[in-house]
Amino acid sequence: MTPVEFANRYGLEVLSTGEGETRQIKGIYCCDLLSLVMGRAKEDDAFFTVMANVNAIAVGVLADVACVVLCEGIRPDDLALQRAQEQDVTLLLSKKDSFQTALDLWKELQAQG
């Protein structure tokens, strides 16, 4: 499932599309400590966080995740949004918390097998 397909199915807002229409999500990683995310998120994971700053976007780029999903309706600041668009990072916004949003995605990934 691509990040944009996931966003459309569950009512998430697409703040920056990036490669989100073509790239496939292969796993899930939830964490707000960016140092941990750098070491442990895998390529093509969907990364769930409430850390809506420019550093979360940089981590998304460098760890090469499929998308960054901001949860709890916490919007990025202008700089973070601008950086996501410049760097082609797929950035989604969910009103639900990380667990609920990730659970929705997990069900989809399970259904795909």
Partner 1 sequence: MSMLNLTYEVDGDDFTRAGEASSAVKKRLRSLGIPPEAIRKVAIALYEGEINMVIHANGGTIDVAVDPDKITMTLKDTGKGIADIKKAMQEGYSTAPDEVRNLGFGAGMGLPNMKKYSDHMEIDSTVGVGTTVYMEVYL
Q: For partner 1, which is the closer residue by CB, 7 or 49?
A: 49
105 binds partner 1 (CB under 8 A): no
Q: Which residues contact 24 (CB under 8 A, 6 or more apart)?
A: 1, 2, 44, 66
| Ranges within 29-68 binding partner 1 (CB under 8 A) | 32-39, 43, 51, 53-56, 58-59, 61-64
Torsion-angle region of 93 (φ positive above 0: left; ψ -120 to 50: alpha; else: beta): beta
Q: Give residues in contact with partner 1 (CB under 8 A).
A: 32-39, 43, 51, 53-56, 58-59, 61-64, 79, 87
